[in-house]
Homo-oligomer: A and B are copies of this chain.
């Protein structure tokens, strides 16, 4: 979707955004990066996508400065990448609303005071807008235990944890 046969409408910032994060797997990779995944192998394990595709996507994301590939081989979100959070949040919210009748699959809390976050990242406890790094994610009422592949990466991801904190 990205480079070959680009979207025609240059006046649409949506089309431009989709050229970067609109391809299959890309947003899931970014989501995993928010959840603390940083290593090639961990992305591959957790997402189960072909390694060749992962290579291409990571290259694109690094080229577009959504991720940076640092010296010890880790892929980490840049400031530009962190700004994708509202998109992920909106998509998860829509998916939860319409495809998870038992309730949200994940809950987001303010790590400092445990307050629930609304969909604009505002804390129900202290009322402030919580920066991404201070968000704690945990399984929500709609979470189905045992429904994930029991790989060690997923196991860690499904523990309550702070966003962006490295997995290992």
Per the bound structure, the CA–CA distance linking A56 and B17 in Å amounts to: 23
- Please tell me if the beta carbons of A92 and B144 are within 8 angstroms of each other in the complex: no
Inter-chain contacts of A91 with B (CB < 8 A): 13-14, 17-18, 21, 87
Q: Is the CB of B92 within 8 A of A13?
A: yes
Interface set, chain A 100-139, CB cutoff 8 A to B: 100, 104-106, 119-120, 139
Q: Is A16 an interface residue (CB 8 A)?
A: yes
Given contacts A11-B139, A80-B98, 12 further A-B contacts (CB under 8 A): A1-B24, A8-B149, A9-B148, A12-B95, A13-B104, A13-B142, A14-B31, A16-B95, A17-B99, A86-B93, A86-B94, A87-B94
